[in-house]
């Protein structure tokens, strides 16, 4: 440990560590572009200049090591002059693009220019024009805006290991680019958009969708796989416009995969269910009637592993009430993909398999195909499905067997073949429209919260299920999702979970129920 | 007449004034108390107004010519190829205190432009004609014209869209 | 022609003359107020807006006549008539022209005509008082109380100024008063004597001011006062009954102007225009014209004053009536008596 001083205040850090992270952690503002906590420092943008007692010139904090007795000054006329000069140099060829640049509003270059510069340029010559082109299926580059910080290049080298990007050309013509015939199409490619400190790399799906200062950002958890990456949703006019990773070193680091990031477009799709067919109380009574006619075990519940812990808990209670057999609905599995840096995309594409195991106290989940066999065998006379995703892995033959059932009912988010044959359909709120918790593959309990409001008569399943339970005499009044969680997990509440989650039990990943 | 004194203050006679001044000051006080001179003055003033040219214009036959800088209805300017100058940057919508500008942007179909509005709506009934939008626009694309006489028969008509704003 | 037919014709003429003055006055009031305020005023209905009063009348006629629930129905309906009729009666003794043949252009040639007109004109206050009372609304009642108190106060000074004209002319017969003025000069200017000039001027001015108060015109329209009384004695009146009050007020103005003209402004005569000995129909028409011109000059002044001066406070109004006008009028009268004795003695 070395003791050093920041603006006169004593601080401590391991000798030899780079200064910048410690300065930032200590609450000192140091503008920077090329340094990113998740990448190796490169020290090429020169924005993080600070004055240090060991050197007569200004030094870049991201590369300068901490040493015993070092005195660091991060503000004052000298430092400001240095930063101003660096900025002026960067702006020489930077276009006046802010009005059409999607980064505007969250752009480091814009913020620092506003802070350090006077809006005047001494450069009268013509600016260098660089390419604007697609780099891959999701990413487009506006080369003019690139400040050659190499964050994106280092990302593809260090994190994904795919190395599609590099800086091409020299001098003020240098710009990030892909190699010919090697598009930027790795499974995490969109992270470069987040780390690009300027608006050079742009998410084509988000292009011109929103001015960020009008939008609202809400933290949540991705439902794309059982890892449960922490995310932030950007919302405008009650529509999810984009999802971005949120830092959580126990789950996803700084990153998330492209598939999860784009898993919001269906939320405002035309096939979303918006009107109620039937009624929750009535449905509950009819389920009981089927049970009474055909005996225990004649009702099946097909529950998605994308349901929250709260929903699963209520579903379990309902299953007990109507003496139902429970089967689980998953999603088609993907291949596990692990980046060289250790970021993993899981095979189980639903977020809460582990939560289902825990709530139903099972060692393995009975797969949905079981219900088809049971109907064929004539055991099952009623099926109630509880599903919260648009692309569940519905068992083959279920729809065709519907005529054999006395009762087919669904709590679902989107219209599909199964909801079409159901007599009662209660529209559910999708993950971005409700509160709840998931247990990820490592046993970490994490929380989602409403990012947008549900449309039509859609309600969170927590509401529908409680209405059914109230009808059956289970409880007197409905309670909030948090109340249900407290009931389910005895005492854990949302405050304890916080924004990064809590570990419930030892990590040993369950397999999931998808094909 | 006592009550008058509280309402109308008589001119004071200066201390140590001569006879002439005293007389004049007494006369001045008298004239106020007698009302008649001030009433006559008032009648003269109203008579003057009666024969003066009128301030009211015979609208709509006669229409006021707006002064320079008058802030009336908006218009979106076009470039020499007839495309809107607007780059859909939302600066106007951001600056607008009435929050009456609604823009939807899209990538431009032309190679030399990045972003254009696909829809641009101003609710003229919400607009307070402050001109902030004009002030904020980085592309000199929006402008308040001197036009002030636009009537409509429904609220929807007063929500101007891109076509309307471009043709204004 | 028989005397009866003559009488009927003259009554018909007077009626038309008075009622016809109302739209003209409405128009005058609106346009002059507009001009004073730098506006155009109503100018869309008919040429120069001349049909605007017609539109007003249609509006009044088509509106609903509302009698308040607790109002005294009878009096409520009656009181607009009470406002409307007395001024008309007052006009009976006003000579509105010279003479056609043997027939005086005056409805009733009473030798106490001036006294008659004074007595009927003050009846108008009943309509106002009863209207306010019958409305069963405290604001209306306050308005009508104010009106009656004001009328009584100013009636005194008005009477004294009328008496002044009578003393100058030495007769209470309006026709003879006019005759006297034709021979000696307008009473306003003291009837030709320099001694009487200040008295005549004072009397004429006082009479006009008191007439403003008698007619509830600004600056003495305390009976209607939006700020304190919602409307005034006519708050509860609507449609035609309101219009009756309105018309009554205007007709009273015309009659009062006619009276002032007769008493102070030389009546129907104007030197060089009318010839008192010309009893042909031309002379008669000319004399009516001169009379009308004088009346309308006065009416114009009414309107002009209204849009110039603000309303008095009630205490100021009373102070002015009792402490200023009454003493001045009394002094005037006394001075006149002395001057009369000096001149004749
Ligand atoms: S990158 Fe930043 S500074 Fe450059 S145009 Fe975009 S918003 Fe503006
Ligand atoms: S594209 Fe962005 S992240 Fe990549 S080098 Fe340029 S500025 Fe840096
Ligand atoms: S004039 Fe003002 S209120 Fe109207 S659109 Fe422009 S900024 Fe908004
Ligand atoms: S500020 Fe100008 S360029 Fe930007 S959206 Fe408004 S009108 Fe268009
Ligand atoms: S952040 Fe230190 S040089 Fe770029």
Rounded to whole angstroms, how far apart are CA atoms C174 and C41?
Answer: 38
Lowest mean pLDDT among A158-162, B52-56, C31-35, C103-107: C103-107
Show the domain range for A289.
280-503
The total of structural domains in chain A comes to: 2
For ligand 5, whether the C-beta of A60 sits within 6 Å is yes
- Residues B80, B159, single domain; the answer is yes
Check B49 against C40: CB less than 8 A apart: no
Q: Give A277's DSSP letter.
A: B
Distances (CA, A) of A256 to A216, A307, A352: 20, 21, 18
Q: What is the mean pLDDT of residues A184-202?
A: 95
Among chain B residues, the shortest Cα distance to A212 is held by: B90
List the CATH number of the domain containing A55. Answer: 3.10.20.740
**Number of domains comprising chain B:** 2
The whole-number average pLDDT for the span C56-68 is 86
* Same-domain pairing of B42 and B124: no
Q: Which uninterrupted H or E stretch holds A299?
A: strand A299-304
Residue B103 is assigned to a structural domain of this protein:
yes
B99 plus B157 within the same structural domain: yes
Q: How far is CA B82 from the centre of its chain?
A: 32
Q: A410-424, B28-42, C249-263: lowest mean pLDDT where? A: B28-42
Quick one: pLDDT at residue A352? 93
Confidence of residue B2 (pLDDT cuts 50, 70, 90): very low
Q: Among the three residues A10, A43, A75, which one is the final residue of a domain in this structure? A: A75
C323 touches B at CB < 8 Å: yes
Instruction: Measure the CA–CA gap between B128 and B121, rounded to whole angstroms.
Output: 15
For residue A38, is it within any domain? yes
Portion of chain A with pLDDT greater than 90, in percent: 82
Mean pLDDT score, B40-63 = 87
Same domain, B85 and B158: yes
Q: What confidence score (pLDDT) does residue B1 get?
A: 41
Taking Cα atoms as reference points, which of A326, A458, A329 lies closest to residue A392? Answer: A329
Asked if C105 and C98 count as a contact pair (C-beta separation under 8 A), the reply is: yes
- Please report the pLDDT score of residue B84 as a whole number: 92
Q: What is the mean pLDDT of residues A99-127?
A: 91
Q: What is the CATH number of the domain that holds B114?
A: 3.30.70.3270
Tell me whether residue A33 is in a domain. yes
pTM of the model: 0.71
DSSP secondary structure letter of residue A196: -
Q: Are residues B106 and B42 in the same domain?
A: no
pLDDT value at B5 more than 70: no
Q: What is the pLDDT of residue A511?
A: 64
Question: Does residue B67 lie in a domain region?
Answer: no
Whether residue A219 contacts residue A232, with contact meaning beta carbons closer than 8 Å, is answered with yes
A52-66, A171-185, A188-202, C97-111: least confident range: C97-111
The answer to whether the Cβ–Cβ distance between A208 and B115 falls below 8 Å is yes
Q: What angle (nearest 5°) sits at the alpha carbon of residue C166, between those of residues C161 and C170?
A: 150
Closest CA to C219 of B16, A138, B35, A357: B35
Residue B3: per-residue pLDDT: 46
Span A473-493, mean pLDDT? Answer: 86
- Is residue B101 situated within a structural domain? yes
Q: Considering the domain boundaries, does residue B59 fall inside one?
A: no
Which of the listed residues A31, A92, A96, A103 should we mutate to test ligand 1's pocket, taking the one with most ligand atoms within 8 A of CB?
Answer: A103
Confidence at residue C339, expressed as pLDDT on a 0 to 100 scale: 85
State the pLDDT at residue B35: 76
Residue in chain B lying closest to A104 (CA):
B89
* Judgement on whether residues B45 and B113 belong to the same structural domain of the protein: no
* Final residue before a domain boundary, out of A21, A43, A75: A75
> A167 lies in a domain?
no
Distance from CA of B111 to the nearest CA of A (A): 10
Listed residues A26, A49, A75: the one ending a domain: A75
How many residue pairs bridge chain A and chain B with CB atoms within 8 Å of each other?
31
Rounded CA-CA distance B69/A10 in Å is: 59
pLDDT at position B4: 45
* C344 pLDDT higher than 80: no
Q: Among A272-276, B4-8, B14-18, name the most confident range.
A: A272-276
Q: Is residue B129 part of a domain?
A: yes
Does the beta-carbon distance from B114 to A211 stay under 8 Å? Answer: no
Q: Which domain holds residue B100?
A: 74-167
Please give the average per-residue pLDDT across A246-264, as a whole number: 93
- Please check whether residues B156 and B78 belong to one and the same domain: yes
Residue A190 lies in a domain: no
Give mean pLDDT, residues C204-212: 89
Residue of A93, A101, A197, A200 to test ligand 1 pocket, by largest number of atoms within 8 Å of CB: A101
Domain harbouring A447, CATH code: 3.40.50.740
Are the beta carbons of B138 and A100 separated by less than 8 Å? no
Q: What is the mean pLDDT of residues A59-68?
A: 94
Domain identity same for B39 and B78: no
Is A68 inside a domain boundary?
yes
- B45 and B78 share one domain: no
Q: Please indicate, yes or no, if residue A357 is contained in any of the structural domains.
A: yes
3-state secondary structure of A329: strand
Q: Are residues B162 and B93 in the same domain?
A: yes
Confidence category of residue B93, pLDDT binned at 50, 70, 90:
very high
How does pLDDT run across B115-158, given as a tens digit for each residue?
Answer: 999 999 999 999 999 999 999 999 999 999 988 867 889 999 99
Residue B62 maps to a domain: no
**Could you tell me if the CB of A147 is within 6 A of ligand 2?**
yes
User: Whole-number mean pLDDT of chain C?
Assistant: 85
C-alpha span between C29 and C22 (Å, rounded):
10
Specify which residues A409 forms β-bridges with: A384, A424
- Closest C-chain CA to B51: C35
**pLDDT tens-digit series, residues A434-465:** 999 999 998 999 999 999 999 889 999 999 99
Residues B92 and B153 in one domain: yes
More confident residue, A106 or C186: A106
Average pLDDT, chain A: 92
Cα separation, C126 vs C75, in Å, equals 11
Residue of A266 and C279 predicted with greater confidence = A266
pLDDT at C323: 87
Q: Residue B9: pLDDT above 60?
A: no
Does residue A138 sit within a domain? no
Residue B40 maps to a domain = yes
> Does residue C308 have a pLDDT over 70?
yes
- On the question of pLDDT at C224 being above 80, the answer is no
Render pLDDT for A316-344 as a digit per residue (tens, 0 to 9): 999 999 999 999 999 999 889 999 999 99
Domain for residue A271, yes or no? no
Give the pLDDT band of residue C165 (cuts 50, 70, 90). Answer: confident
DSSP-derived letter for residue A364 is S
Structural element, H or E, at residue C216: none
Residue B58 lies in a domain: no
CB A426 within 8 A of CB A437: no
- Most C CBs within 10 A among B7, B43, B46, hence the mutation to make, goes to B46
Q: Are B36 and B93 part of one and the same domain?
A: no
Q: A441 is written with which tokens?
A: 């593959």
Return the pLDDT at A509.
Answer: 59
């Amino acid at each position: 440990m070395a003791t050093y001083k920041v603006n006169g205040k004593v601080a401590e850090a391991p000798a030899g560590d780079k200064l910048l992270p410690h300065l930032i952690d200590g609450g000192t503002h140091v503008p920077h572009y090329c340094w990113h906590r998740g990448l190796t420092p490169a020290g090429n943008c020169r924005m993080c200049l600070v004055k240090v007692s060991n050197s007569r010139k200004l030094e870049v904090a991201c590369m300068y090591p901490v040493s015993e007795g070092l005195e660091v000054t991060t503000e004052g006329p000298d430092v400001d002059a240095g930063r101003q000069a660096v900025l002026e140099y960067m702006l020489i060829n930077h276009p006046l693009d802010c009005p059409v640049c999607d980064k505007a509003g969250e752009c480091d270059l814009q913020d620092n220019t506003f802070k350090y510069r006077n809006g005047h340029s001494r450069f009268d010559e013509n600016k260098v024009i660089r390419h604007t082109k697609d780099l891959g299926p999701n990413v487009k580059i506006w080369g003019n805006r690139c400040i050659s910080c190499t964050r994106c290049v280092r990302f593809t080298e260090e994190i994904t290991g795919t190395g599609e990007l590099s800086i091409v050309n020299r001098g003020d013509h240098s710009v990030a680019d892909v190699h010919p015939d090697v598009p930027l199409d790795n499974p995490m490619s969109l992270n470069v958009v987040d780390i690009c400190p300027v608006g050079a790399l742009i998410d084509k799906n988000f292009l011109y969708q929103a001015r960020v200062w009008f939008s609202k950002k809400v933290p949540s958890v991705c439902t794309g796989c059982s890892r449960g990456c922490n995310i932030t949703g950007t919302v405008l006019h009650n529509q999810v416009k984009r999802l971005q990773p949120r830092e959580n070193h126990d789950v996803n680091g700084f990153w998330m995969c492209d598939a999860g990031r784009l898993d919001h477009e269906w939320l405002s799709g035309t096939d979303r269910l918006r009107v109620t067919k039937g009624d929750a109380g009535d449905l509950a009574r009819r389920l009981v009637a089927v049970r009474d006619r055909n005996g225990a075990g004649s009702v099946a519940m097909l529950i998605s592993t994308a349901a929250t812990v709260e929903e699963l808990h209520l579903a379990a209670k309902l299953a007990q009430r109507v003496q139902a057999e429970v089967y689980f609905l998953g999603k088609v599995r993907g291949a596990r993909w692990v980046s060289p840096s250790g970021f993993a995309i899981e095979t189980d594409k639903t977020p809460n398999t582990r939560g289902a195991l825990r709530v139903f106290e099972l060692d393995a989940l009975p797969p949905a195909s079981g219900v088809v066999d049971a109907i064929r065998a004539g055991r099952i006379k009623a099926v109630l499905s509880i599903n919260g995703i648009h692309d569940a892995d519905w068992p083959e033959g279920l729809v065709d067997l519907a005529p054999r059932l006395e009762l087919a009912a669904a709590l679902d988010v989107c219209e599909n073949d199964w909801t079409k044959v159901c007599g009662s359909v209660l529209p559910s709120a999708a993950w971005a429209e409700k509160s709840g918790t998931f247990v990820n593959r490592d046993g970490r309990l994490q929380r989602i919260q409403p990012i947008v409001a549900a449309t039509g008569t859609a309600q969170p399943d927590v509401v529908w299920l409680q209405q059914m339970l109230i009808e059956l005499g289970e409880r007197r009044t409905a309670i909030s999702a948090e109340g249900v969680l407290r009931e389910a997990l005895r005492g854990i509440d949302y405050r304890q979970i916080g924004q990064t989650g809590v570990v419930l039990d030892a990590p040993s990943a369950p397999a999931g129920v998808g094909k | 007449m006592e009550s008058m004194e509280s309402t109308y203050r008589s001119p004071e006679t200066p201390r140590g004034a001569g006879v002439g001044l005293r007389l004049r000051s007494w006369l001045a006080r008298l004239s106020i108390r007698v009302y008649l001179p001030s009433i006559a003055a008032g009648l003269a003033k109203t008579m003057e107004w009666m024969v003066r040219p009128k301030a009211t214009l015979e609208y709509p036959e006669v229409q006021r010519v707006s002064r320079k800088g008058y802030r009336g209805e908006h218009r979106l300017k076009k470039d020499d190829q007839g495309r809107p100058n607007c780059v859909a940057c939302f600066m106007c919508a951001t600056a607008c205190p009435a929050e009456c500008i609604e823009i939807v942007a899209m990538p431009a179909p032309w190679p030399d432009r990045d972003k254009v509005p696909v829809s641009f709506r101003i609710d003229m009934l919400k607009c307070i004609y402050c001109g902030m939008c004009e002030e904020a626009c980085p592309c000199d694309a929006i402008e308040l014209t001197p036009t002030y006489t636009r009537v409509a028969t429904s609220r929807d008509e007063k929500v101007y869209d891109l076509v309307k704003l471009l043709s204004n | 022609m028989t005397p009866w037919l003559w009488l009927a014709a003259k009554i018909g003429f007077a009626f038309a003359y008075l009622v016809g003055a109302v739209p003209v006055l409405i128009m005058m009031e609106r346009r002059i107020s507009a001009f004073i305020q730098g506006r155009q005023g109503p100018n869309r209905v008919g040429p120069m807006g001349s049909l605007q009063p017609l539109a007003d009348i249609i509006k009044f006629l088509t509106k609903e006549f509302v009698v308040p629930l607790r109002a005294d129905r009878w009096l409520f309906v009656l009181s607009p008539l009470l406002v409307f009729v007395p001024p008309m009666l007052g006009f009976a003794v006003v000579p509105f022209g010279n003479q056609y043949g043997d027939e005086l252009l005056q409805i009733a040639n009473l030798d106490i005509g001036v006294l008659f007109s004074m007595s009927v004109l003050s009846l108008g206050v009943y309509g106002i008082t009863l209207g306010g009372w019958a409305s069963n609304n405290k604001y209306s009642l306050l308005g009508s109380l104010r009106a009656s108190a004001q009328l009584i106060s100013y009636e005194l000074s008005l009477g004294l100024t009328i008496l002044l004209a009578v003393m100058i002319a030495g007769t209470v017969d309006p026709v003879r008063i006019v005759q006297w003025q034709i021979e000696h000069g307008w009473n306003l200017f003291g009837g030709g004597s320099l001694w009487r000039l200040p008295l005549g001027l004072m009397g004429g001015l006082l009479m006009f001011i008191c007439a403003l108060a008698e007619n509830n015109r600004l600056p003495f329209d305390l009976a209607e006062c939006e700020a304190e009384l919602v409307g005034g004695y006519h708050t509860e009146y609507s449609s035609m009954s309101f219009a009756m009050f309105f018309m009554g007020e205007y007709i009273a103005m015309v009659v009062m102007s006619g009276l002032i003209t007769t008493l102070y402004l030389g009546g129907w005569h104007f030197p060089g225009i009318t010839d008192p000995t010309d009893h042909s129909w031309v002379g008669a028409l000319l004399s009516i014209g001169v009379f009308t011109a004088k009346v309308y000059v006065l009416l114009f002044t009414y309107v002009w004053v209204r849009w110039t001066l603000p309303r008095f406070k009630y205490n100021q109004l009373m102070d002015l009536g009792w402490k200023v006008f009454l003493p001045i009028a009394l002094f005037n009268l006394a001075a006149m008596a002395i001057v009369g004795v000096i001149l004749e003695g």
